[in-house]
Amino acid sequence: MTTLINDRIDVRISKEQKELIKFASELCGFKSLSEFIVFTTNKEANKIIAEKNQILKSLEDKKIFVDAILNSPVPNANLKNALLNYKKIESANEITN
């Protein structure tokens, strides 16, 4: 599979950082330093996006969610009024459609 290269990123790093990254690249068997950087950066970016898009991140989040479902509070007046308004709007939409 051929990868189309159409953009560039310039990064300035210390000599020590470059040597460390180059060594890791060689240990992993990458053909070039650029290939290693693109691979690892892409992998880390996907990991970050997946973590940030996860709704229930911790065990505590999951417990709170399940508790809210299993022990939901009784609807208050505002919620009951909202439901009545929703039903009125839906009925009006059904008549016009």
The whole domain housing 24 covers: 15-96
State the average pLDDT over residues 62-77: 92
pLDDT for the residue 26: 96
Radius of gyration of the chain (CA): 27
* Residue 33, domain member (yes or no): yes
pLDDT of 2 above 70 = no
Q: How many helices (H) and strands (E) does the chain have?
A: 4, 0
* Residue 69, domain member (yes or no): yes
Confidence band (pLDDT; 50, 70, 90) for 1?
low
pLDDT for the residue 3: 66
* Residue 53, domain member (yes or no): yes
Tokens 């290939």, residue located: 35
14-35 pLDDT, tens digit per residue, is 999 999 999 999 999 999 999 9
Distance between CA atoms of 66 and 58, rounded to whole angstroms? 13
Q: Residues 26, 8, 32, CA angle at the centre, nearest 5°? A: 15
How many structural domains does the chain have? 1
* Residue 23, domain member (yes or no): yes
* Residue 7, domain member (yes or no): no
HSE of 17, CA atoms in CB hemisphere, 13 A: 5
Q: Is the pTM of this model over 0.85?
A: no
